[in-house]
DNA sequence: TATTTATCGAGAAAAGTTTCTCGATACATT
DNA sequence: AATGTATCGAGAAACTTTTCTCGATAAATA
């Protein structure tokens, strides 16, 4: 049988990382609109407010599967729904965080902002000082308990917020515990087996971009 | 006079954001090599360890102005030097941070890791509770003092780590105080005058990318 | 010294992303 | 009802970024 079959669940077409990164911004903006009672919105408007090309907005939104109406735009509620379901924010993903420092506290805190599909269900640290002192309602557990808990709770995502010199150790433990993806905030490249997804969050990389833009801007208008 | 002049300082060719974001990773890796006593390194090796295409590594490094030697590669020390001077990490940029929460604490802390051209010289908050309780050695100042201090210290960069609902207010104050660029960690789009540079740091955008990769990976190898 | 190999640099090719163009459509206005 | 306008969707074009190709070069090896 050489004829291709049309599956009911269409082959997930590739979504560019750039588009993925813009979707949360649209979502946030749309939530604001909905809160102010706005019912429909056009790509032109979104683009104007978020400083993006309207066509790009349209393509990004189309990627989530929504269809709009000419001259009108999209119903705000439908758009929010479309983005949320496309990004899988309905079935929340559980995650563990390793390294109970300030950054972990910030993440545990911000999470309460809304349902973005991420639930950090437990935090771990190897410092006995930190064990048992809850941060934003989450208890800090000793790192030794991570593997058994990860297995029992079927955790797929690990977040590393340890200092750089403890990051590889944390990654090894997460991988050993059956984690499939690591969100790494430590400024250290991780070595992981084939098939494990690593998303590095390099804050200094962002600063470099900012500082470069500033240098260019200041250089263009000299004293 | 229509003939173009060759200036001594060459016109800064445009560097892509992607390249800029990779440079800190190279730098970090090279620092590690230098620490282990390695004297020279090739693009092939860097690419292998950082999981990047060797040609891409070569192009990125070439952008900083360094030239290598066939069969040998680049002297590690020269590369580090080249990246640092290209990114302007020699003349450190001073910055203010607004919002003395956990994220601010994390940034103030990590900064001590090394010289990456950023010095957060003061932190501000409007909560009187936080004033006067230093975080990682930096005192927290009342927000009212920001404008005069910014002018006196010629600060160009402001970092916003407030909650979302205070972010616009913080941005307005920074702009009023003469700041040229804002690094915004609050999950809120800022409205600023023409000419002010805003770099939004949306942590959930990164999570979206991670979660999407995971979904694809898990979907590709079904049960 | 000749040959082989690893690597660079530069330009070409390929792939990916953003912006433009245009026909179609829905609502508003005359 | 006819005309005008804002907007969508889709495909083309422009632009950017990444990957490939190839000649040149420096060191190692025969």
Confidence of residue B12 (pLDDT cuts 50, 70, 90): low
Strand D: protein residues, Cβ closer than 7 A: A 42-45, 54-55, 58, 61-62, 66-74; B 14, 16-19, 52-53, 55-56, 59, 69-72
Q: What is the pLDDT of residue A12?
A: 65
Average pLDDT of the segment spanning B203-215: 91
Q: Where are the alpha helices (DSSP H) in chain A?
A: 17-35, 43-50, 54-63, 76-86, 102-111, 146-153, 164-176, 203-220
The token pair at B208 is 């979206």
Average pLDDT of the segment spanning B176-192: 93
Nearest to B118 by CA among A164, A186, A207: A207
Q: What is the pLDDT of residue B61?
A: 98
Q: What is the mean pLDDT of chain B?
A: 90
Residue A14 has pLDDT above 90, yes or no: no
Residue B166 has pLDDT above 80, yes or no: yes
Average pLDDT of the segment spanning B142-164: 96
Q: What is the pLDDT of residue A188?
A: 84
Q: What is the pLDDT of residue B1?
A: 39
Average pLDDT of the segment spanning B20-40: 95
Q: Could you tell me the CA-to-CA distances from A168 to A49, A161, A171, A174, B46 in Å, in that order? A: 42, 11, 5, 10, 19
For A46-61, the pLDDT digits (tens) are: 999 999 999 999 999 9
Q: What is the pLDDT of residue A221?
A: 52
For B49-67, the pLDDT digits (tens) are: 999 999 999 999 999 999 9
Interchain contact, A201 vs B206, CB within 8 Å: yes
Under a CB-based contact definition with an 8 Å cutoff, are residues B187 and B164 in contact?
yes
**Window A:55-84, CB contacts with B under 8 Å:** none
Residue B147 has pLDDT above 70, yes or no: yes
Residue A219 has pLDDT above 80, yes or no: no
**Window A:118-177, CB contacts with B under 8 Å:** 118, 156-157, 164
* DSSP string computed for A69-119: BTTTBEEHHHHHHHHHHHTT-SSPEEEEEE--SHHHHHHHHHHTT--SSEE
Cα B161 to Cα B182: distance, rounded to the nearest angstrom: 11
Distance measured from the CA of protein residue A63 to the C1' of nucleotide D1, in angstroms: 38
Under a CB-based contact definition with an 8 Å cutoff, are residues B58 and B134 in contact?
no
For B128-146, the pLDDT digits (tens) are: 999 989 998 888 999 999 9
Q: What is the mean pLDDT of chain A?
A: 90
Cα A126 to Cα A108: distance, rounded to the nearest angstrom: 18
For A95-147, the pLDDT digits (tens) are: 999 999 999 999 998 865 557 889 999 999 999 999 989 998 888 999 999 99
Average pLDDT of the segment spanning A181-201: 92
Distance measured from the CA of protein residue B73 to the C1' of nucleotide C7, in angstroms: 7
Q: What is the pLDDT of residue A114?
A: 56
Residue A182 has pLDDT above 60, yes or no: yes
Residue A6 has pLDDT above 80, yes or no: no
For B110-129, the pLDDT digits (tens) are: 866 557 889 999 999 999 99
Residue B173 has pLDDT above 90, yes or no: yes
């Amino acid at each position: 049988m050489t004829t291709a079959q049309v599956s009911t669940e269409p082959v997930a077409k590739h979504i560019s990382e750039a588009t993925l990164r813009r979707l949360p911004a649209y979502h946030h903006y749309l939530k604001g609109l909905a809160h102010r009672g706005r019912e429909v919105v056009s790509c032109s408007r979104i683009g104007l407010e978020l400083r993006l090309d309207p066509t790009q907005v349209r393509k990004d939104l189309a990627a989530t599967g929504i269809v709009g109406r000419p001259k009108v735009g999209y119903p705000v509620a439908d758009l929010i729904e479309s983005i949320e379901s496309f990004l899988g924010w309905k079935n929340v993903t559980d995650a563990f965080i390793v390294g109970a420092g300030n950054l972990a506290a910030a993440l545990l805190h911000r999470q309460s902002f809304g349902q973005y599909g991420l639930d950090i269900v437990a935090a771990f640290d190897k410092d006995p000082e930190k064990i048992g002192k809850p941060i934003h309602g989450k208890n800090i557990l000793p790192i030794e308990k991570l593997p058994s808990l990860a297995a029992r709770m079927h955790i797929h995502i690990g977040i590393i917020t340890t200092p750089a010199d403890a990051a590889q150790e944390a990654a090894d433990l997460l991988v050993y515990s059956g984690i499939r993806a690591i969100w790494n905030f430590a400024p250290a490249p991780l070595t992981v087996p084939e098939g494990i997804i690593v998303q590095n969050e390099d804050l200094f990389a962002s600063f470099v971009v900012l500082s470069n833009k500033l240098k260019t801007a200041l250089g263009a208008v000299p004293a």
